[in-house]
Amino acid sequence: MRFSKSDRIVVLTGAGISAESGLKTFRDSDGLWENYRVEDVATPQAFHRNPELVWEFYKQRYEQLKTAKPNPAHFTLKKLEDFAQTNFSLITQNVDGLHFQAGNNNVLEMHGSILRCFCVKCRNNYPISDVDLEKPIPFCEKCKGMLRPDVVWFGEIPYHLEKINILLQKADYFIIIGTSGVVYPAAGFLQTAKYYGAMTIGINREKPANYYLIDKFYLGKAGEVLPKLVDEWIE
Ligand code: APR
């Protein structure tokens, strides 16, 4: 199999692609959801009930992020974007910013980013580096409303869905990397892309829940499998 420069390549990544950068996934053993309950830290209701606890969770994750670096899988996607240019699109469920750090430009962060927050009252945005994280709950400089991480929680609508839908419909290849395929709407993207005629490819350390929709599946670690595959595909 070989990509040509006119092929439209759409990639969806999940927490598994950042595992080799030292960041915990959600659902592997010792994953984040083994140590925290989703309902306590990743819903609008949780933030309403206990914003301090929610901030504590995201502050810890931001701390871990400060030392995390992109791994060979992230850099390989930068190589793929350099090859396919504007025919390449990267959709990520990750909130760690590592795809941007690796140099990718065409990235849609559908679940937001830990590196940003916004005021729940006036919606003003702040880079997290400008926020005083010593405070249990940071407040907006403009209106004194509470700030919250710009992360899409369970029960909220992900970003960029219209754009993503168009990309999926036009894709020649749709590749999923490091995602368990259980969280919707992202888990449904394989079905859309396949329905509209894309070849579907998966790279994961286990078979994801939507494995049956994958035409070519490669079992293994993204940082080991992806660089070799992409070398073959763009040779
Ligand atoms: N290479 C490839 N795959 C890996 C690797 C690796 N090095 N390490 C782990 N994986 C796989 C796991 O086997 C698992 O199937 O990555 C997948 C990670 O799955 P999840 O932890 O469920 O992460 P993800 O699919 O991104 O979760 C989706 O759930 O809680 C929410 O909002 C959160 O965006 C997240 C969403």
Active-site residue among 48, 74, 99, 111?
A: 111
- CA of residue 146 to ligand 1 center, whole Å: 30
| Residue of 113, 159, 205 best suited for mutating to test ligand 1, as the one with most atoms within 8 Å of CB | 205
Mean pLDDT of the chain, nearest integer: 96
Residue span(s) of the chain under CATH 3.40.50.1220 come to 1-22+70-111+158-235
48 is catalytic: no
What's the whole-number mean pLDDT along residues 200-227? 98
CATH 3.30.1600.10 domain extents, the chain: 24-67+113-151
- Which ligand 1 atom minimizes the distance to the CA of 181? 25
Ligand 1 centroid–CA 13 distance in Å is: 8
Residue 14 Cβ inside 6 Å of ligand 1? The answer reads yes
Question: Are the C-beta atoms of 94 and 177 separated by less than 8 Å?
Answer: no
Q: Please tell me the predicted confidence (pLDDT) of residue 133.
A: 94
> What average pLDDT does the segment 169-181 reach?
98
HSE of 190 in the Cβ direction (CA atoms, 13 Å)? 25
Q: What is the pTM of this model?
A: 0.97
What is the CATH code for 24-67+113-151?
3.30.1600.10
Beta bridge partners of 175: 11, 201
pLDDT at 24: 92
pLDDT in the model for residue 31: 85
188: pLDDT confidence band, cut at 50, 70 and 90? very high
Average pLDDT score over residue span 147-163: 97
Q: Report which protein residue has its CA nearest ligand 1's atom 6.
A: 221
pLDDT at position 178, please?
98
pLDDT band at 28 (very low <50, low <70, confident <90, very high): confident
Q: Starting from the edge strand earliest in sequence, which strands make up the sheet with 9-13, in order? A: 107-109, 88-92, 9-13, 173-177, 199-204, 216-219
Give the pLDDT confidence score for residue 30 in this predicted structure.
Answer: 82
Question: Residue range 207-219: average pLDDT?
Answer: 98
Strand partners, 218: 203
For the CA of 222, the closest atom of ligand 1 is 1
Distance 72 CA to ligand 1 centre (A): 17
pLDDT (tens digit per residue) in 62-87? 999 999 999 999 999 999 999 999 99
CATH number of the domain at 1-22+70-111+158-235, please?
3.40.50.1220
Is the pLDDT score of 221 beyond 90? yes
